[in-house]
Structure 1
Amino acid sequence: MQTLKVICADLPAPPLFWRDKQGKRHGFEADLARAIGQQLGRKTEFIYRNWADFYPALNKGEGDLLLCGQGISDLRKTLADFTAPYAVFDEAVMVLRGSPIQSKEDLRGQRVAAIAGSLNMALAETFAGCIRVPFDGNTGDVMGDMVKALRVGEVDAFIDDDVALVPLAEQPDLAIAFTCPTHNPWGALVKKGQGDWLTQVDNALVALKQNGQLKQIWQHWMPSLAYPF
């Protein structure tokens, strides 16, 4: 059986993805990657790379598919080719519990972190007067880096997708200040110039939507979020 090599990050971001002590990957995107592999008749293998290395790894042929929290953006479309969306999420702003920040107006003059080049950073650019702090993702845990920066006072807030921040808000010192209904679609990506391969992956996603498997995976891992398709 052929292998489907899926490029992704090795960091804890439930309910999207994480690894247990035995090294098995769990979560919505993990199960989706396996389901795509099954549709294609391939065994899924996860190729772990730092966030900043995703696109270089894909373009070097280190993986067949990049599937790891990639909102569809004009910038990313220049780097690789997106599949049809497999998810749609809003974005949220995380702060320390008790912070006076409750709205975008409260971010004026505040240091706001987000992953460099992401849709989250694009949202930060719409917040008038905030001081944007990009995180380049060169470490193994960019989310953990932003949480640490918030806790030690290096930033006042950070932006990520709501699905990733809801579990973090269960920690006693963290809170979601507010959510922005941006409805960002997420897609997987293939190396540019691989039109036939892109069509195969798109067809697999269509099948998962039509047979209800994508909805089943979504509702298993994210029962509180409305299925978007």
Structure 2
Amino acid sequence: MKKILGTFTSILVAGALLSGCAAEESDGSVLKIGTDDTYPPFEFRDEANKLVGFEVDLAREIGEELGMEVEFVSTSWAGIFNGLNSKSYDVIMSATSITPSRLESYIFTDPHMTNGQVIVTRKGEASLTSPEELKGLQVGVQLETTADIAATKYNETTDFEILRFDEVIQTFSAMKAGHVDVIVADYAVAIDYVNKDPESYQLTEVMLTNEPIAITIRKEDTALRDKLNGALDSLREDGTLSDLSVKWLGDDYTTDIDTELNVAE
């Protein structure tokens, strides 16, 4: 899911088992995870301001497998890759899509969630069947995400207006208020919003890209990647990964993942 490189803006340390300064490197017993905590159902704050979500639970399960404490470093999406580069945390878990351009700068674990950019419309409106039907519409996306990239790419050949928002929740609020006609968003995010509010939103059959989600790691940290892959393998085998998907998304989107990238860049 998500997202392209941006400019570092702010880092706020928050979450479970919080200790020390975000700028310090891990000593090996703590796995520091950078995340944008405004992205349900992957990572977000509940009514009690507790960090929750699919990847939050997954990170804690990974910590259990590796015998490591998990520390979440909450940061805005725009600066999340710069935070990894500056070693403010060890990895990114923030619904991050694997893309060819990111593979030039980072390594990834094996994907743990299927994903692609899809189109969401208001409930009761005619469902779109092709990207060309975006013509003349106002299309909401989260700024500097792969949804933004995909919409921008299709905008080169189809004339529509792109409205960009800082947070994905703002795109859905804008559509409910009548300010945008459709939304381009990550598949899992779209499913979550449709499931929670089926009277307001509906999912179309248009899949613009295929970009599975994985944990992002600095290129030199191959040993950490291998450890994380081992933990993920164990969680797949014992059913934990699929159980978490069902818990947060209502179905299993963690098996039979199409790893062939089809990304608009």
Q: TM-score range by the shorter chain?
A: 0.7 to 0.9
Amino acid at match of 1:106: E
* TM-score (ref. length: structure 2): 0.72
1:4 and 2:31 matched: yes
2:171 to 146, 153, 177: 146
In the alignment, the residues of structure 2 paired with residue 101 and residue 44 of structure 1 have an alpha-carbon distance, to the nearest angstrom, of: 42
SS of structure 2 residue aligned to 1:53: helix
Quote the residue 2:51 is aligned against.
25
1:195 and 2:227 matched: no
Q: CA RMSD in A?
A: 2.7
Question: What is the CA deviation profile of residues 89-141 of structure 1, one whole-angstrom value per residue up to 9, with x for unaligned ones?
Answer: 3432122334445232321232323345544344432474143637474xxxx
Q: Is contact 1:113-1:157 (8 Å) kept?
A: yes
In the alignment, the residues of structure 2 paired with residue 71 and residue 2 of structure 1 have an alpha-carbon distance, to the nearest angstrom, of: 27
1:63 and 2:89 matched: yes
Q: Is contact 2:30-2:69 (8 Å) kept?
A: yes
Quote the residue 1:212 is aligned against.
239
2:101 to 56, 75, 85: 75
1:111 and 2:111 matched: no
In the alignment, the residues of structure 2 paired with residue 60 and residue 160 of structure 1 have an alpha-carbon distance, to the nearest angstrom, of: 29
Amino acid at match of 2:221: Q
Quote the residue 2:201 is aligned against.
174
1:129 and 2:158 matched: yes
Moved over 6 A (4+): none
SS of structure 1 residue aligned to 2:207: strand
SS of structure 2 residue aligned to 1:84: coil
* TM-score (ref. length: structure 1): 0.82
Quote the offset at 1:56 in angstroms: 0.8
Quote the offset at 1:166 in angstroms: 2.4
Query: Quick one: structure 1 residues 58 and 65, their matched pair in 2 at CA, closer, same or farther if it must change by over 3 Å?
Result: same
SS of structure 1 residue aligned to 2:98: coil
Query: Quick one: structure 1 residues 208 and 73, their matched pair in 2 at CA, closer, same or farther if it must change by over 3 Å?
Result: same
Q: Is contact 2:242-2:253 (8 Å) kept?
A: no
Ranges in structure 2 where 5+ consecutive residues have no aligned partner: 1-27, 257-265
Q: Is contact 2:34-2:92 (8 Å) kept?
A: yes
SS of structure 2 residue aligned to 1:88: coil
SS of structure 2 residue aligned to 1:219: helix
Q: Which of 199-208 and 69-78 deviates more?
A: 199-208
Q: Is contact 1:111-1:130 (8 Å) kept?
A: no
Q: What is the total number of aligned residue pairs between the two structures?
A: 224
Q: Percent identity?
A: 22
